[in-house]
């Protein structure tokens, strides 16, 4: 676990996504603690223990932001019943629908236990000091959070040139457009959905663009 500005970075365990806790306590907002992605929901004790190290109880989480609707990012939403759930509007119906194949829960041999969505996010919405960017490609409703320095990017881009797979509800054309857009940002810290978070994020985005044939 590492803290970058007001974001605590929590490494995912096994198949879990990484989780990112945004400390928004100085804003005067109704959302003091915002958790970005909650993993598969199969490692409750691990996630709780990391939050306890920070000094956060599960009921302190006011808002969950899911970067997209896939099981390994939303499966733990039910760990935080007092937190509202926010996801991009293009992925909201997939999360709401227990029978939706777009959550890919079947790939993990499991099921999502919480299907409510309180807030359907759109391009330009604000989450604490972050702006919502619609970055589809891995899923129709993939989103990133950008504060001018930190990019929390879900499974759009990974460190060292990685790119999210596009065969489970994604689209290569959308991915290229998202990468071209992110390439223009002055990203210092890249906080992806899996794997290490890294400094000099702009260079890692350039590598991802090269892997998609974007120069």
Domain-wise residue ranges, the chain: 2-211
Of 78, 65, 71, the closest CA to residue 143 belongs to 65
- What b/e readout covers 93-123, taking b as 16+ CB neighbours within 10 angstroms? bbbeeeebebbbbeebeeebebbebebebee
The tens digit of pLDDT for each residue in 61-100 reads 999 999 999 999 999 999 999 999 999 999 999 999 999 9
pLDDT value at residue 152: 98
- The strand order across the sheet containing 198-199 reads 126-127, 130-134, 143-146, 150-154, 189-192, 198-199
pLDDT value at residue 27: 81
Categorize the per-residue pLDDT at 26 as very low, low, confident or very high, splitting at 50, 70 and 90. Answer: confident
pLDDT at residue 215 above 80? Answer: no
Global pTM?
0.96
Class of domain 2-211: alpha beta
pLDDT value at residue 44: 87
> What average pLDDT does the segment 193-204 reach?
97
pLDDT at residue 116 above 90? Answer: yes
């Amino acid at each position: 676990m590492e803290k970058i500005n007001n974001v605590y970075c929590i490494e995912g365990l096994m198949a879990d996504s990484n989780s990112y806790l945004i400390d928004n306590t100085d804003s005067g907002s109704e959302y003091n603690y915002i958790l970005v992605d909650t993993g598969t929901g199969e490692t409750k004790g691990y996630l709780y223990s990391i939050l306890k190290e920070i000094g956060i109880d599960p009921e302190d989480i006011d808002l969950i932001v899911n970067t997209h609707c896939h099981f390994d990012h939303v499966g733990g939403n039910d760990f935080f019943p007092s937190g509202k759930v926010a996801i991009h509007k293009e992925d909201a119906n997939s999360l709401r629908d227990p029978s939706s194949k777009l959550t890919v829960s079947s790939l993990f041999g499991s099921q999502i236990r919480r299907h409510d969505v309180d807030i359907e996010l759109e391009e330009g919405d604000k989450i604490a000091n972050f702006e919502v960017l619609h970055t589809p490609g891995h899923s129709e409703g993939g989103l990133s959070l950008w504060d001018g320095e930190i990019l929390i990017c879900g499974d759009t881009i990974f460190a060292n040139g990685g790119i999210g797979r596009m065969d489970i509800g994604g689209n290569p054309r959308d991915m290229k457009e998202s990468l071209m857009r992110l390439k223009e940002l002055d990203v210092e810290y890249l906080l992806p959905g899996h794997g290490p978070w890294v400094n000099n994020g702009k260079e890692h985005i350039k590598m991802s663009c090269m892997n998609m044939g974007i120069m």
